[in-house]
Amino acid sequence: MTRKKLAIIGNGMATGRLLDELIRRDGLSRFEVTVFGEEPHGCYNRILLNRVLLGGVVDDITLKPAAWYAEHGVRLKSGAAVTRLSHAAHRLWTADGQEHYFDRAVFATGSVPRLPPIEGAKMPDGRWKDGVAVYRTAADCERMRSFARSGRPAVVVGGGLLGLEAAKGLADLGMSVTLLHLFDTLMNRQVDGPGAIMLRRAIEKLGITVITSANTKAVLGAKRAEAVLLGGGARVPADLVVFASGVKPRVDLAKDSDVPTNSGILVDDRLQTVLPDLYAVGECAEHNERVYGTVQPVYEQCAVLADVLTGANPDARYHGSKVYTRLKVVGIEVASMGDIDPQLIDDEVVQVIEEKRGVYRKLIIRNDRLAGAVLVGDSSAAANLVRRFERGDPLPVNRLDLFASADRASEPTGGVVCNCHQVTEPTLLAAVRGGCRTLQDLSARTGAGTGCGSCRGQLAALLLKAGKHPATVAN
């Protein structure tokens, strides 16, 4: 059988997962796959970018080295930006002028930094001033590190997840960091007001200055950053200014190729655009007026798209995802799912505040089901809550039982342990019985712990329970 040509445009975490899903369905016997990636290496884990900022190399966070593609019969065109695509001709062109034919193509172009409208960040020729950077790629981290000097002032613009991670990384490099956030509370999309207060206190204990409701107007300095100008005239000294104020779907290629877009590239339940044989997946895709920016929904999309492309399940459809986040933000456990504030008059709210421990926990309950939750400082209950959230299980009459049962959450729970990859405890136990002895072995065999990394404590507990030695592998 002649294999059809499948072009995947972009080489981020969505592409890495889609390749895995295609291989699981024997998709490489049906398709000759070519991946077009702008960066000069294989796909890597963007969630772990801080490791590069702190002096590591891309190989430390790489999910698929260049050799992996060749070993699996996938053509990798690295450093090859796709500049034009013709659906009618079934061809695309890269920046070096090369033409490539495809039968089917997938946009996996991800997202780009969302920059606030400020003056002075760039030179007249469009290049960033010295001492100005964004926080998005491994190359961005290397640029930030090149300007970082211990004891010198740095400003990070953006108080979401990326901004907090950038601020922590620069603080760890010895810089005096000020974090500016446009909104009243940090991580305002994931945590509510009380949770944000707890988070802010923990961040300030690290020596990071936090200024909220901060309207950043300009970067001052003729050829390099010297300070940031705020609305009202205040100036914040800065040898290094980092923009980490969110991302937006990368849709320029699709739009230029007459593929309908809104905030993202519009797709149906099969992840197909309005044009046959053109698909989109990941952060660039918009499904039912929603764009997803976390790992778990993207991976769910990849499973559906692999079913559709290979025919493994012709009836596969993507119906949207229930979004949840569980991770460590600047070393602080944070989990969030569903609604973070009540939406209906009959919504029940349960809040537990432990000032001394710096722990905040909140539930939003609707019709005796979990509609949302926020956990700051202790996310041990997250695995239990996520299962109830996803399945819509009835809740115990004593709502606090949901938290009390989590005292054992450092131990495996019998259900899904790794939410990013949907790896269950039975799968992990089977891998241990099959010879896995360390966290590295277990992650390599099952994929668990290679997404956000928040489940690594549970993986370690499982290995310890089995008499193995997870501590031989560093986090």
Pair 330, 360 in one domain: yes
What is each CA distance from 23 to 6, 384, 434, 453, 458, in whole angstroms?
A: 13, 31, 22, 24, 28
How far apart (Å, rounded) are the C-alpha atoms in residues 378 and 202? Answer: 13
Cβ partners under 8 Å of residue 438, min gap 6: 463, 468, 469, 470, 472, 473
Pair 108, 252 in one domain: yes
The two tokens of residue 223 are: 């050829």
Pair 277, 372 in one domain: no
Contact yes or no for 36/103 (Cβ under 8 A): no
Pair 332, 348 in one domain: yes
The two tokens of residue 375 are: 């956990």
For the domain that residue 377 is a member of, what is the CATH number? 3.30.390.30
Contact yes or no for 187/333 (Cβ under 8 A): no
Give the helix/strand (H/E) hosting 165. helix 161-172
| Angle subtended at Cα 327 by Cα 322 and Cα 330, rounded to the nearest 5 degrees | 145
Contact yes or no for 87/93 (Cβ under 8 A): no
State the pLDDT at residue 424. Answer: 79
Choose the final residue of a domain: 245, 266, 291.
Answer: 245
What is each CA distance from 471 to 42, 181, 440, 460, 464, in whole angstroms?
A: 28, 37, 10, 8, 9
The two tokens of residue 164 are: 């907090």
Pair 252, 298 in one domain: yes
Choose the final residue of a domain: 214, 245, 276.
Answer: 245
Residue 420 maps to a domain: yes
State the pLDDT at residue 442. Answer: 80
Residue 126 maps to a domain: no
Residue 117 maps to a domain: no
Digit-by-digit pLDDT tens for the chain (475 residues) are 689 999 999 999 999 999 999 999 999 999 999 999 999 999 999 888 999 999 999 999 999 999 999 999 999 999 989 999 999 999 999 999 999 999 999 999 999 999 888 999 999 998 999 999 999 999 999 999 999 999 999 999 999 989 999 999 999 999 999 999 999 999 998 999 999 999 999 999 999 999 999 999 999 999 999 999 999 899 999 999 999 988 999 999 999 999 999 999 999 999 999 999 999 999 999 999 999 988 889 999 999 999 999 999 989 999 999 888 877 777 888 999 999 999 999 999 999 999 988 899 999 999 999 999 999 998 888 888 988 998 899 999 999 888 864 444 444 445 677 766 778 788 888 888 888 877 777 877 887 777 666 677 677 777 777 766 565 444 4
Pair 333, 431 in one domain: yes
Q: DSSP code of 192?
A: -
Torsion of CA 16, 46, 137, 252, to 10 degrees: 60
* Number of domains into which the chain is organized: 3
User: What does DSSP say about strands 235-237 and 227-230: parallel, antiparallel, or unpaired?
Assistant: antiparallel
Pair 413, 357 in one domain: yes
Choose the final residue of a domain: 276, 310, 344.
Answer: 310
For the domain that residue 209 is a member of, what is the CATH number? 3.50.50.60
Pair 255, 281 in one domain: yes
Pair 256, 192 in one domain: no
How far apart (Å, rounded) are the C-alpha atoms in residues 414 and 281? Answer: 31
Helix (H), strand (E) counts: the chain: 13, 28
Pair 348, 398 in one domain: yes
The whole domain housing 463 covers 326-472
Cβ partners under 8 Å of residue 332, min gap 6: 199, 202, 203, 376, 377
Rg (CA), the chain: 23
The two tokens of residue 231 are: 């609305």
Residue 320 maps to a domain: no
Contact yes or no for 282/264 (Cβ under 8 A): no
Residue 125 maps to a domain: no
How far apart (Å, rounded) are the C-alpha atoms in residues 47 and 36? Answer: 21
Cα dihedral 118, 158, 340, 317 sign = positive
Beta carbons within 10 angstroms of residue 437's beta carbon: 16
Residue 316 maps to a domain: no
Pair 8, 60 in one domain: yes
State the pLDDT at residue 134. Answer: 96
Pair 255, 355 in one domain: no
The two tokens of residue 160 are: 């979401």
Residue 122 maps to a domain: no
Instruction: Estimate to the nearest angstrom the gap between the alpha carbon of 25 and the chain centroid.
Output: 25
Residue 173 maps to a domain: yes
Find residue 133's DSSP bridge partners: 242
Left (φ > 0), alpha (ψ -120 to 50) or beta: where does 338 sit? left
